[in-house]
């Protein structure tokens, strides 16, 4: 990694500030709903990636058979 990239990453105190801002913007009751939606999105993305890998592997096997 370049030193420039390391300076742009948030540190521990910046994560706390970001978490407090999110808490103030969305409130304590909305955060679990947001995390559930985020989890569903990540799961859907992983499923899509796995499906694409399977299709690529099937196509590769068909080409190898010929």
Residues 8-52 pLDDT 10s: 666 778 888 888 888 888 887 888 888 899 899 999 999 999 999
Q: Are 23 and 15 spatial neighbours (Cβ–Cβ below 8 Å)?
A: no
- Confidence at residue 23, expressed as pLDDT on a 0 to 100 scale: 84
Residue 7: pLDDT over 80: no
User: How many CA atoms lie within 13 Å of 54's alpha carbon, on the beta-carbon side?
Assistant: 6
In order of 34, 36, 37, 40, 56, the CA distances from 43 in angstroms are: 14, 11, 10, 5, 20
The pTM of the full predicted model, rounded to 2 decimals, is: 0.56
Q: Residue 10: which residues within 8 A CB-CB, separation 6 or more?
A: 18
Band of pLDDT at residue 1, cut at 50, 70 and 90: very low
């Amino acid at each position: 990694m370049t030193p420039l990239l390391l300076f742009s990453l948030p540190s521990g105190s910046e994560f706390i500030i970001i978490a407090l801002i999110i808490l103030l913007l969305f409130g304590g009751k909305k955060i679990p709903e947001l995390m559930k939606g985020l989890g569903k999105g990540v799961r859907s993305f992983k499923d899509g990636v796995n499906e694409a890998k399977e299709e690529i592997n099937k196509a590769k096997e068909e080409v190898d058979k010929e």
